[in-house]
Amino acid sequence: MPHEVKPGFVQLVGAGPGAADLLTLRALRAIEGAQALLYDALISEEVLALAPQGCLKIQTGKRAGRVSMKQETINRLMLRLARRGLKVVRLKGGDPSVFGRVGEEADFLNAHGIATAVVPGVTAACAAAAQFNFPLTHRRQARRVVFTTARLEAGALQADWSSAADPETTLAIYMGGGAAEELSQRLIEAGRAASTPALAVESAGTPRARLRRGTVGELARLVEDGEGGPVLLVIGEVAALADVREIGDTLDAARALSA
- Please list the active-site residues: 40, 62
Q: Is 36 helix (H, G, I), strand (E, B) or coil?
A: strand
Asked whether the beta carbons of 17 and 93 are under 8 A apart, the reply is: yes
Element (H, E) at 57: strand 56-59
Asked whether the beta carbons of 79 and 112 are under 8 A apart, the reply is: yes
Asked whether the beta carbons of 240 and 145 are under 8 A apart, the reply is: no
| Burial group, residue 156, by CB count within 10 angstroms (0-12, 13-18, 19+) | exposed
Length of the chain: 259
Element (H, E) at 12: strand 9-14
